[in-house]
C-alpha cells in the first residue's frame, strides 16, 4: 500500500467527471487499499478517487470511531433522498483547514458495488448520509465550497493558492539544501 497525493482546491482536475468503474480486479483492490491508507493518514472519513486524480466512480467512507468499518462504494447512485434537509459543518481533504455549513438531504439510500463487483444498498442518515453526498459530489466534479457564497469561495481559493505557493517555496528551499 502507499499514500497517494490528494489534489488541493482549486486544482482543475477536481472538476473532472468520473467514469464508471468497468473492471473489478486487482488494480481496483489496490486502489481501494491505497485510498484507505491515504484517507486514514490524512486523517479523514471519506475520499473520492477523483481527489487522488483517478477519475473513476469510487468513494471510500469510514465514519466509525474505531476506524475499522471501511466501505467502498463503486459506481454509486443515490436512489432516494429525503425531502428533509439539514445543514452540516463540512470539511474536505482537498480543502484542508476549511469548514463551513452545507445543506444536504437528511437521509439517502444509495446503490453501489463493492470491490468484488457485488451490488449492495445502504440507507444512511447523519454523518454517513452527509459523507456519501459529499464524496459523490466529487465524482461529478463538485467541491463542497461550491455550495458557499461567491465571496467565501473566492476567499478560500485565494487562501489555498497562497498556501500552495508557500509549500512550493518550502520544497524548493529544501531541494537547495537551505534551512527555513
**Which residue ranges are tagged as binding site?**
92, 134, 138
- Look at residues 69, 66, 67, 54 and name the one whose alpha carbon lies nearest to residue 21: 54
Catalytic entry in 135, 146, 168, 170: 135
Q: How many whole angstroms separate alpha carbon 120 and alpha carbon 137?
A: 20
- Catalytic residue list contains 103: no
Scan for cell 455550495, then name that residue.
147
* 155: enclosing H helix or E strand: helix 150-175
Cβ neighbours around 62 below 10 Å, total = 20
C-alpha dist (Å) from residue 96 to 19, 152, 161: 26, 15, 12
C-alpha cell at 11: 486544482
Q: Which residues are catalytic?
A: 135
Amino acid at each position: 500500500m502507499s499514500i497517494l497525493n490528494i489534489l488541493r482546491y482549486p486544482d482543475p482536475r477536481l472538476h473532472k467527471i468520473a467514469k464508471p468503474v468497468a473492471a473489478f480486479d486487482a488494480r481496483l483492490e489496490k486502489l481501494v487499499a491505497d485510498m484507505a491508507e491515504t484517507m486514514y493518514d490524512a486523517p479523514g472519513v471519506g475520499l473520492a478517487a477523483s481527489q487522488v486524480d483517478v477519475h473513476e466512480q469510487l468513494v471510500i467512507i469510514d465514519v466509525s470511531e474505531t476506524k475499522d468499518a471501511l466501505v467502498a462504494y463503486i459506481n454509486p447512485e443515490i436512489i432516494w433522498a429525503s425531502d428533509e434537509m439539514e445543514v452540516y459543518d463540512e470539511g474536505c481533504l482537498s480543502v484542508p483547514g476549511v469548514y463551513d455549513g452545507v445543506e444536504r438531504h437528511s437521509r439517502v439510500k444509495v446503490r453501489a458495488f463493492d470491490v468484488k463487483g457485488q451490488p449492495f444498498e445502504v440507507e444512511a442518515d447523519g454523518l454517513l448520509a452527509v459523507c456519501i453526498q459529499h464524496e459523490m459530489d466529487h465524482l461529478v466534479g463538485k467541491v463542497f465550497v461550491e455550495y458557499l457564497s461567491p465571496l467565501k469561495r473566492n476567499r478560500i481559493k485565494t487562501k489555498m493558492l497562497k498556501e500552495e505557493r508557500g509549500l512550493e517555496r518550502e520544497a524548493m528551499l529544501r531541494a537547495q539544501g537551505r534551512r527555513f
